[in-house]
Structures are given as C-alpha cells and as structure tokens.
Amino acid sequence: MTSEKKSELTNKVKNIIEQIRPYLQQDGGDIRFVEITDDNIVNVELQGACGSCPYSTMTLKNGVEVAVKKALPEIKSVEAI
C-alpha cells in the first residue's frame, strides 16, 4: 500500500472512530486510534472505563470493528493493544 493510500485510509478510520467515541464516553470510556498495520489491521487503545470493562472485547468487536469494516471493507480487523 502506498503511503498516500495508507494516509487516506487512516483518516477514514479516524473519522469513524470519532463518530463512535461519544457512545463510549457516555459510559466513562474512550478509544484512541494507534495505527493501521501493513496488513490492514487497525490497532486502537481502549481508555477509561473501557480499559477495564469485562465487556470491552464485545464492544470492540461488535461495535467498533463492525462499524469500521462496514464503511471500509478492506480493513481486516480492529484490535485493542
């Protein structure tokens, strides 16, 4: 992937995360974009209440990942680091 294409994809992912963030913040959590790997895996950091919540994996996979992959099918997964 060219750096221009990766930059464009990064901006799109960040935009989706910004749309999801208010829902996480309502429950005392937050999410921070970290990077997109060369194999199209998005790494994020769950913060606040999301960092220690037993349901954070479900939120990440069923909420964040679904939203990102729906908008950007080229993304393979969203992982918390």
Q: What is the mean pLDDT of the chain?
A: 92
73 versus 55: the higher-pLDDT residue is 73
Name the percent of the chain lying above pLDDT 90.
72
Average pLDDT over residues 18-40: 93
Q: Which structural domains are found in the chain, ordered by start?
A: 3-80 (3.30.300.130)
pLDDT at 63 over 80: yes
pLDDT at 1 over 80: no
For CA atoms 50, 36, 72, 17, the dihedral sign is: positive
- Is pTM beyond 0.85? Reply is yes
Q: DSSP 3-state assignment of 43?
A: strand
In tens, the pLDDT along 32-60 reads 999 999 999 999 999 998 888 888 888 88
